[in-house]
Amino acid sequence: MFKGGMAGMMQKAKQMQDDMEVAQQEIKSLSCEGISASGKIKIVLNGEYKVTNINIDESLLSDKEMLEDLVMIAVNDASTKVNNLSKEKMKNVTGGLNLPF
C-alpha cells in the first residue's frame, strides 16, 4: 500500500516539476510595460527583468533630475508588473503553496 502511495507522490512531483519548467519558460517570455509621466515615459521589461525598450517623450529632455526620477518610476512599475505576473504563474503551478523560487 505504501509503495503505491509513494509512486503516486513521485508521479505528482514529476508533473509539478514539468509544469514549473513550462511556467518558467512562460515567465521568461513575459513583456511588461512600465509607465510614468502620464505615458510620456514607457519602459518594457521581459520576464528576466531586462529592459527591452525605452521610449521617452522629447518634452522631458530638458530637466535631467526629473527625467531620472520618471525613468526610475517607470522601471519600478514594469518590475512590479513582471513580479506580480511571475508570482501568479508560479501560484498556478504550485497550487498556492508559497515555495521560495
Q: What is the pTM of this model?
A: 0.77
Give domain limits for the chain: 2-94
pLDDT of residue 61: 96
**How far is the C-alpha of 10 from the C-alpha of 44, rounded, in Å?**
40
Q: Is 62 helix (H, G, I), strand (E, B) or coil?
A: coil
- What would the grid cell of residue 7 be? 509512486
Band (pLDDT 50/70/90 cuts) for residue 89 is confident
pLDDT at 15 over 90: no
**Percent helix, percent strand, percent coil in the chain, to nearest 5:** 65, 20, 20
Mean pLDDT of the chain: 89
pLDDT of residue 90: 86
Please, what sign has the CA dihedral across residues 68, 72, 77, 82? positive
The superfamily in CATH containing domain 2-94 is: Nucleoid-associated protein YbaB-like domain (3.30.1310.10)
Higher pLDDT, 55 or 3: 55
Candidates 37, 64, 34; CA nearest to 51 is 34
Band (pLDDT 50/70/90 cuts) for residue 72 is very high
